[in-house]
Every structure is written in C-alpha cells, then in structure tokens.
Structure 1
C-alpha cells in the first residue's frame, strides 16, 4: 500500500467515525438544570446591561444565550415578545392567544403564572428548532420587573 493510499484510508476512516459520532452529539439535549442556569444568567445580564443590549444578545443565534436546543425568550406581561433567540419574526408580536397543538393557551398561562413573581416550570408542545418537529417542551421562566425571561427544554 502506498503512502497516498494509506493517507486516503485514514481520512476515510476519520470521516466515517465522525459521521457515526455526529448523531450522538447532535442528539444531546439541554437539561432542566442547564435551562434554569441559562435563564438566571440572562436575568443577571439584563440587570447589568439593560433591555436593549440583552435583547440584541438573545437574538444572536451564536451568542451566549443559545446552547444546542436551548434559546431565550423574553415576554412582557401583556404577552408581547421582546426578544426571541430562535425566531426574530416573533419579536413585537402579542402571543397572548396563541395555543399549542392541544389547544393550550400557553403564553396566557405563562403570563398568569409570572404575575405571582416567582420562577416556575410550564409544560406545553412546541416546534423544536433543531428537529423541526412539534415536541413536548418544559419552559423555565423567571419574572423580572415587567418581563418574563424564559428558556426551555424539549422532553424526549
């Protein structure tokens, strides 16, 4: 076997190994504790840097507030989206009446829960931006002043 042939075999082997391992890494989902930590980190950033800078950073899909299938969303107590880490088209929209596939008005429920001024978990169904499929989701939310900062995990 020539040096060139051996090199090609090694490259092919490395590519095959990478292809076999990639689904394992891609399938790794964010955990509930990781989501809670990210929401708390986002609220701390919000307190230190203000709304505008925080909203811009949340909208940066390669920024510090996006990790695998986790992204941050900020709502007002009126149901209007102020920042959305997965879909910038949602910013400025009032989602108070939006319902999941089971008919659950999850944003209205989220706003009602946030008015108690304590962090909470909420479950509903939503499109996973990684898989493109509607999946069960648990959203961790922390009220802050007139805002609700949320980040969720898809449940398998």
Structure 2
C-alpha cells in the first residue's frame, strides 16, 4: 500500500503541466515588455543573446513561452527556439494554412505598433503545429513578441 505522502512527489510535475496550459495574455505581454526593458537597459545585442539563450530569462514553461525579435523586413534577430533561426529572413514564411504570419506581424507592427495576431506554429513541447496567438510590440523599429498556444 502506498503512503498518502507518496502522491505529493508528483504534485510539482502536475502543477507545471497545468501552469503551462494557463499562460495568460497578460503574462505574454509582460514578458515582451520585460524583454524591451532589458534591451533598453543592457543594449540590443545583450538582449538578443539572452532571448536566444536556451533556458534564459525569456524562456518560460519549459520553452513553450519565449520571446522573438524581428526587423521590419522579416529577418530574425533573436529567437527563443534557438540560434538556428537567427539571421534567417522569414518574410515569406507561411503557416500550415498558408497564412503569411510574418508579413501579418510586420503589417500590425507598422500600422498599430503593438497587438495580437493568430497563426499556427510548431509547439516545441510536443512537436505539433498548433494554433497560436502572439503579442508583438515595436521598440526602436524592431518587433519584439511572444505567443501562447491555444489549448
């Protein structure tokens, strides 16, 4: 017979799983604003390195929530999914439904300076292309963003 306390060993894993599913839009916006504040204080290059660094301060929930930075031409300057994305021009990138999500992101950045947009993207936690919504905000003519997968 198992001790009632034995089930407590699994509680942290359960809480992490539930927490990842409950990432709020407010938390996403706060992470983007934190990345911009970090860039203002420490410089763009330091921010780009920290955003791209695996397990860095701009990676949450096991990598499911992360920051990305694009220029206004669609070039990736920093990306929470890794350095392999940095330097790649994603202007013509399409999601599985044919949505040119980077162009949509750039239009939103130029027209409103910040906001939310929907598309599909590869979830690093399960390797599946899933519906996602991302918040972007422009600072110094750069697009800082982060997104959450819709559950």
TM-score past 0.5 threshold: yes
Tell me what 1:92 maps to: 87
Kindly report structure 1 stretches of 4+ aligned residues shifted beyond 4 Å. none
Residues 21-73 of structure 1 deviation map (CA, whole Å, 9 limit, x = unaligned): 62452243321110000001111111111111001110122221111111000
Structure 1 unmatched ranges of 5 or more? 1-8
- The structure 1 residue matched to 2:25, chosen from 8, 28, 32, is 32
In the aligned structure 1, how far is the partner of 2:66 from the partner of 2:103?
20
One of 122, 127, 136 as aligned partner of 1:141:
136
Q: Distance in 1 between matches of 2:144 and 2:79?
A: 10
My pick for the range that moved more, 119-128 or 56-65, is 56-65
Distance 1:75 1:24, change over 3 A: same
Whether 1:53 aligns to 2:32 is: no
2:56 corresponds to 1:63: yes
Instruction: Work out which of the two has the higher radius of gyration on C-alpha atoms and give 1 or 2.
Output: 1
The reply to whether residue 121 of structure 1 matches residue 116 of structure 2 is yes
Give distance in 2, aligned partners of 1:94 and 1:146: 16
Q: Number of paired residues?
A: 147
Name stretches of at least 5 consecutive residues in structure 2 with no aligned partner.
none
The 8 Å contact of residues 73 and 83 in structure 1, kept in 2 or not, is answered as yes
Which residue among 13, 26, 31 is the counterpart of 1:22?
13
Aligned mates of 2:72, 2:57 — CA distance in 1? 25
Q: Is the 8 A contact 1:117 1:143 kept in 2?
A: no
Aligned match for 2:100, one of 78, 102, 105: 105
Contact 2:54 2:82 in 1 (8 A): no
TM-aligned CA deviation for residue 74 of structure 1: 0.1
User: For the aligned residues, what is the CA RMSD?
Assistant: 2.0
